[in-house]
Amino acid sequence: MKVEVVVVSKEIIKPSSPTPDLLRKYQLSYIDQIAPPLFMPYIYFYPADGRSSNWERSNRMKESLPEALTRFYPLAGKLVDRLYVDCNDVGVEFFQAKAEVKLSEILSNPIPGELNKFLPHDPNDFRDFCTAVQVSFLTCGGMAVGFVVSHKIADAVSMGMFINSWAAITRGDSDIPYPKFEGATLFPPRNLGSQSDLVIKERPVTKLFVFSKSKIDALKDKYAKINGGRLRPTRIEALSTFVWSRFMASTQAKSNDNKIYSLIEPIINLRPRFEPPLTNYYFGNIWWPIGATLTMTDKDYEKESFKLVGKIREAITSVNRDYVAKLREGLIPKLDIIDEHLVRFGFTSLCRFPLYDVDFGWGKPI
């Protein structure tokens, strides 16, 4: 699949109402401060509507965006260091583009590097704005809606809340809950001193691997058998163990030391772990990484790696209301281990996040 995308228009969309002076300075929380300096990319693909042209659909989205930005006012501002967002209503870039490709071609052979052309900016080209949008018209009448959102001010739950709220406004819904911007109250900002952000030294390589349901079920059965049926893994646990074991098999063979200390870091949504639990309408970065280490003592990498499933489950269970209370008090340090014997491997999952039902009025994304 080769994609040719040409931008035909660019506009700056501002909130429909000016942000009050009282809300001009949106303070980042501690977790916002340490969140990675990159954009979270999302692309939604919609087939031809049959009732409206792509220009009409795009213009409806553009017309409803100002109201969405009034509700989510920090998204129309500018980041200032790792301190706050200047909510100056500078606005959001809104691109319209034409793409010489059919939706069927994208679905049959999706190539990550080509898909990035549907985004308004490179996810790793981090800047001081908070979000941008690109609507691309496909030759078949379908459309791609691409977003980038700064991870410094939002997590996947927050991003899903914004997109779904914007879609509801576009549909004409009226009963739309407002977001709660209380991150800095939940996790007060800290003086990070000379601590620097994560720096991406090399351009990331992105590849796509597709596992069928039958293959995933086979992996789950295999790992359940390895541990005598005591622990049946979830989908993400089975896939993570499999990928991890292949990673270990390839790196261990190149090492003279037969012990490699490894780390897996799943990301935990903290909202349901508060007392009382928070709703998903709390905007910001309200997550925390947890870690588990494993010393490889056996060349049976899948058997050894599966030990991490139990460790990860124990770690997830430990993140309860008491853990969150200590985290809010600053009693739990940032997970930042530096060791020459340590190889870090992170994974995350967007399953069950509110990202798959975004309907702007012409149905859910395909």
Cα angle 286, 287, 290 (rounded to 5 degrees) comes to: 160
Asked whether the beta carbons of 237 and 222 are under 8 A apart, the reply is no
pLDDT 10s digits, 141-199:
999 999 999 999 999 999 999 999 999 999 999 899 999 999 999 999 998 876 656 56
Tokens of 186: 């939940």
Q: What is the mean pLDDT of the chain?
A: 88
Distance CA 75, CA 90 (A): 10
Sheet containing 143-150, strands listed edge to edge, beginning at the edge strand earlier in sequence: 5-13, 92-99, 131-138, 143-150, 39-46
Count of alpha carbons within 13 angstroms of residue 89, beta-carbon side: 16
What's the confidence (pLDDT) of residue 314? 85
Average pLDDT score over residue span 199-222: 86
- Under CATH, what is the fold of the domain 5-186? Chloramphenicol Acetyltransferase (3.30.559)
Active-site positions read 151, 359
Model's pTM, two decimal places? 0.90
Helices (H), the chain: 30-34, 54-71, 103-108, 112-115, 156-171, 183-186, 213-226, 235-252, 301-305, 307-318, 321-328
Distance CA 144, CA 141 (A): 10
Neighbour-count burial for 296-325, b at 16+ CB within 10 Å, e otherwise? beeeebbebbbbbbeebeebeeebeeebbe
Residues of the chain above pLDDT 70, percent = 89
Q: Where are the domains of the chain?
A: 5-186, 213-346
pLDDT 10s digits, 14-40:
999 999 999 999 999 999 999 988 899
CA neighbor of 25 nearest in space, from 96, 67, 78, 101: 78
Tokens of 285: 């970065």
Residue 340 banded pLDDT, cuts 50, 70, 90: low
- Under CATH, what is the fold of the domain 213-346? Chloramphenicol Acetyltransferase (3.30.559)
Distance CA 27, CA 84 (A): 4
Whether 5-186 and 213-346 share one fold: the answer is yes
Average pLDDT score over residue span 125-133: 93
Asked whether the beta carbons of 110 and 96 are under 8 A apart, the reply is no
pLDDT 10s digits, 287-302:
998 877 776 666 677 7
